[in-house]
Amino acid sequence: MAGLIAIGVGCRKNCTSAAIVALVRRALAEAGALAGEREMFTLDEKQSEANVREAARSLGLPLNFVSHVRLLREAKRVATHSALVERHVGLPGVAETAALAGAGPGGALILPRIAAGGATCAIAYRGEPLG
């Protein structure tokens, strides 16, 4: 059985779905060939933002909204910190914490946050145990 590719996404309120889609595609290309189910994760406060939903739909990915409390649990595991996001949301970043939360306890960050066009994206991976 294959693993889980957890795609964490963050974005500014005015970010377009096209910018999110382009960045996710770039992140997946940079992460390399990974076998597994792909899912997108973001902060639950983004539920009202149609651009995030449209991006997931365009990519054919299930979209999961994760609570702030759950993302905060991953704060010590992130590779990058954004002072701006820390001030506004109380997290070191949304993309990496969302990816790590999505991958679960056995997951690891394989692509730290990248950013473009008002969006951020990071990828975590949890492989299934053999045998």
In the chain the domains, ranked by start, together with CATH numbers, are 3-32+39-126 (3.30.420.180)
**What's the pLDDT score for residue 80?**
83
User: pLDDT tens for residues 25-84?
Assistant: 999 999 887 778 999 999 999 999 899 999 999 999 999 999 999 998 998 888 887 877
Non-local CB neighbours of 28 within 8 Å, separated by 6+ positions: 5, 7, 38, 123
pTM: 0.90
